[in-house]
Structure 1
Amino acid sequence: MKFIELKNKSLSELETLLTELKNELFLLRFKNSTSRQDKTHKIPEIRKDIARVLTAIREKQISNKGDK
């Protein structure tokens, strides 16, 4: 997921995406701790995606404050 794609989304879409990514990360961590998992490389990728989404959300919040 690229940051440019995230900049074009609305704040509500970003929050929904953040929730989905956090759930996916939880499930991957759970699978990793309980049994052998094939896709362990996905965990750092999702963590980075979460960071990108949080950055985009914060950027939109700051720009909304400036507009007021």
Structure 2
Amino acid sequence: MNKMKVNEIRNLSTAEMNEKVAGLKEELFNLRFQLATGQLENPMRIHEVKKTIARIKTVQREEELKAAKKA
């Protein structure tokens, strides 16, 4: 999976975002396991996955704050 842009993330529904985060966390776990066992080919992938998780969580938080402001 390539780096997701913020515009792509904003077009996802909340359920899709949660699903993406869960999948990325699982991928991150596997990457860390590969790193520990010396099988990881691209160590920068860990960095990319962590940043993508952070981007999704940021967009989720923005939507929460926007909804709270309307209420």
In the superposition, the TM-score normalised over structure 1's length comes to 0.91
Aligned alpha-carbon RMSD (Å): 1.0
Instruction: Give the letter aligned to residue 38 of structure 1.
Output: E
Q: Deviations over 1:2-58 (max 9, x none)?
A: 001111111111111111111100100011101231121101011110110110110
Q: Percent identity?
A: 35
Q: Contact 1:25–1:43 (CA<8 Å) still a contact in 2?
A: yes
Match of 2:48 in 1: 45
Choose the corresponding residue for 2:9, options 6, 26, 46: 6
Corresponding residue pairs, total: 68
Instruction: Give the letter aligned to residue 66 of structure 2.
Output: S
In the superposition, the TM-score normalised over structure 2's length comes to 0.87
Unaligned residue ranges in structure 1 (runs of 5+): none
Match of 2:66 in 1: 63
Unaligned residue ranges in structure 2 (runs of 5+): none
